[in-house]
Amino acid sequence: MSATRIGIIGGTGLGNVLLKEGGESVHVETPFGQPSMDPILANWEGVDVAFIARHGAGNIYHPSNVPYRANIWAMKSVGVRAIVASGATGSLQEPIAPGHLVICDQVIDKTFRRASTFFDEGVVAHVELSEPFCPTLRALLSEAGDGVNHDVHNKGTYICMEGPQFSTRAESLMHRQWGGDVIGMTCMPEAKLAREAELCYAMIALPTDYDCWRPHEGSPGSDALLKEIIGNLNRATEHAIALIRRSLPSIAESNRSCGCGEALTLAVWTDEKVLSREHRERYAPLLQRHWNAKKA
């Protein structure tokens, strides 16, 4: 992968912890507005990393309003080649207990009011998404997961819902029938945009509780329930940080044989010659490699 810098996008929980880790923040302008926050550049385990807390400092963006395009663009701008993302989820399966980690391998995208492509004017591009997460990153995270002292599931289907409300019980039961393992609100369009930006991307889901398909044991009050969820999130966050730290050196050293870095090669349908100057400039950070390759 030869990732000179590894991006970490932290969701609820991890994002807040990452903000306290320190580092140097850099201001980045993007054609899609401001990212959730200026990326923080730091060094972990001898590896250069860039952090973005997905919901912004102080959790100001709810899942529908996260500036996903600006975040991925900003990561690419600071030299990131591979992104390890995390996000809080509900579990749809009994064996995936709160506090475990899931290195997802599939997604069902139910979101409907988010900009999900960089190529919304002037250029038509259709990237391949049958494997929405980078197989190399997933394998390296799974390997790192073998050496940590907690439960890591090496695959799982992430159902991405719009939110911000949670599911009804009927929906939750349906998501189980669809084959969902965890449900969250942020993996999409992040994974799609990372593919369009030719970045490797993996998602570590942090189950904080069982989704509402499963009745709660006893009848805890809402305060007790919230406390339990926060406790599970904190535990999963600690586990995710341990897993990410452990995986960084091998991700940084690995060869990028996964194909994510050439995702646009067969995907762009628009003739370069018909692009306006404005669109050419706008898309150059994503498409210059592709244009150069065609000329070679």
Q: Which residues form the interface with Zn ion (CB under 5 A)?
A: 134, 136, 200, 258, 260
- Which residue lies nearer to Zn ion by CB, 214 or 289? 289
Task: Tell me the closest approach of the beta carbon of residue 136 to Zn ion, in angstroms.
Answer: 5
**Catalytic residue at 271?**
no
Question: Which is catalytic among the residues 146, 211, 223, 271?
Answer: 211
- Which residue lies nearer to Zn ion by CB, 133 or 210? 133
Question: Which is catalytic among the residues 38, 209, 223, 271?
Answer: 209
- Contact criterion met (CB below 8 Å) for 98 and 205: no
Task: Tell me the closest approach of the beta carbon of residue 261 to Zn ion, in angstroms.
Answer: 7
Nearest to 191 by CA among 83, 89, 36, 282: 83
Element (H, E) at 169: helix 169-177
What string of H, E and C letters represents the secondary structure of 56-97?
CCCCCCCCCCCCHHHHHHHHHHCCEEEEEEEEEEEECCCCCC
Length of the chain: 296
Per DSSP, what are the bridge partners of residue 190? none
- Which residue lies nearer to Zn ion by CB, 103 or 134? 134
- Which residue lies nearer to Zn ion by CB, 138 or 153? 138
Residue type (1 letter), 187: C
- Which residue lies nearer to Zn ion by CB, 135 or 163? 135
**Catalytic residue at 146?**
no
Element (H, E) at 240: helix 222-253
φ, ψ of residue 176 to 5 degrees: the values are -65, -40
- Which residue lies nearer to Zn ion by CB, 182 or 260? 260
- CA distances for 178 relative to 104, 109, 154, angstroms: 15, 12, 19
Task: Tell me the closest approach of the beta carbon of residue 103 to Zn ion, in angstroms.
Answer: 14
Task: Tell me the closest approach of the beta carbon of residue 243 to Zn ion, in angstroms.
Answer: 18
Task: Tell me the closest approach of the beta carbon of residue 202 to Zn ion, in angstroms.
Answer: 8
Task: Tell me the closest approach of the beta carbon of residue 272 to Zn ion, in angstroms.
Answer: 25
Cβ-count burial of 165 within 10 angstroms (0-12 exposed, 13-18 middle, 19+ buried)? exposed
Residue type (1 letter), 92: L
Per DSSP, what are the bridge partners of residue 152? 101
DSSP state letter for 38: P
- CA distances for 202 relative to 24, 58, 116, 136, 205, angstroms: 24, 24, 17, 9, 10
Catalytic positions are 209, 211
